[in-house]
Amino acid sequence: MAFYLCVNGHLHSFDFQYAQRARMRPRLEPTLVPGMPRPAPRPSKVPYVSEWMSKKLITVELTTPLNLARNLMLEKGLHHLPVVAFNRLVGVLSDRDLLKNPKAKLTHEAMTHTVVVCDGDTPLFEVCEVFAKENVSCIPVLGKAAQLEGILTTKDVLKWAYETRPQ
């Protein structure tokens, strides 16, 4: 898989099978109940992250005042803001981070420092697995030289599922 952990701007390879075993979380495998219809086969064309990610990014710096970031999120209708330092991703500020850290004054005090990232050539099905297993709702997309190219959210995946559903 083409997934990495971005920890304070440094990329680390990430193996989800190992992470599952290390956490000892039971895997929830789907089971078919007799009489229930089988799931529809996947579409023949494999969708990639680069086709469905949001490319118009609004980012904040580590030292951005939190009330400014909060107002920006409300004004633009965003749930996630990538946090950058020297044009490198160092974390993500989410609406949940704002709720968990009401006394924080600056972005770096409230943001999530460890972020799962991927590249644009990652199949969308693999990202769906990450969303489900890792309890994340956005994955920043990095390009060449670890530059931030976009962000894929659960909303983008739902849009893909709706637009490619069988008629």
pLDDT score at 1: 47
CA pair distance 71, 54, nearest whole angstrom? 20
Instruction: Enumerate domains of the chain plus CATH numbers.
Output: 3-21+46-163 (3.10.580.10)
The pLDDT tens digits of the residues spanning 118-165 come to 999 999 989 999 998 888 999 999 988 888 999 999 999 999 989 988
Residue 118 token pair: 């991927």
pLDDT score at 135: 87
CA pair distance 14, 142, nearest whole angstrom? 15
The residue-averaged pLDDT of 81-98 equals: 93
CA distances from 52 to 6, 38, 122 (A): 21, 27, 11
The pLDDT tens digits of the residues spanning 19-28 come to 555 444 444 3
pLDDT score at 95: 93
10 Å CB burial of residue 5 (0-12, 13-18, 19+) is middle
pLDDT score at 18: 53
* Residues 6 or more apart in contact with residue 76 via CB below 8 angstroms: 58
Vertex 113: Cα angle to 16 and 109 (nearest 5) = 155
CA 119 from chain center: how many Å?
A: 11
The pLDDT tens digits of the residues spanning 25-57 come to 444 344 444 555 555 555 557 889 999 999 999
